[in-house]
Amino acid sequence: MSECLFCRIVAGEVLADTVAENDHAIAFRDINPAAPTHVLVIPRVHEPNVAAVASASPEALVGMFQLAAQVADDEAIAEDGYRLVANTGAAAHQTVFHAHVHVLGGRTMGWPPG
């Protein structure tokens, strides 16, 4: 059994509130939402961050962003605008080291991010 939490979600060993999926990625609601819509998009393959996905599996990175766009449409946040965030490394507040993109929307975002 994998020790990676998101690999365990991919494998169905840990339950998640899945909202969409495609051949390369799975989208599920963040357990601790930071916005009215807060969905995580993760690749099915294990890579530690999006930079590593870009190197190892560019098609998976494309699949992640296609799924993020679909989630934004499905959640009706695409028209007003939404934010995609890929925290990369501990100093950027990455806490789960299986690549993921946050899809955040449903409220006005601040800038710059903290």
Per CB under 6 A, contacts with ligand 5GP among 24-43 are 28-32, 40
Tally of helices (H runs) and strands (E runs) in the chain: 3, 5
Per CB under 6 A, contacts with ligand 5GP among 42-71 are none
Stretch that binds ligand 5GP, among 23-31, 50-58, 63-71, 74-82 (CB under 6 A): 23-31
| Cα diameter, the chain | 41
- Choose from Zn ion, ligand 5GP, none: what does 30 bind? Cβ within 5-8 Å by kind: ligand 5GP
CA distances (Å), 65 to each of 2, 17, 81, in order? 25, 19, 15
Indicate if 98 belongs to the active site.
no
Query: Least distance to Zn ion from the beta carbon of 45, Å?
Result: 8
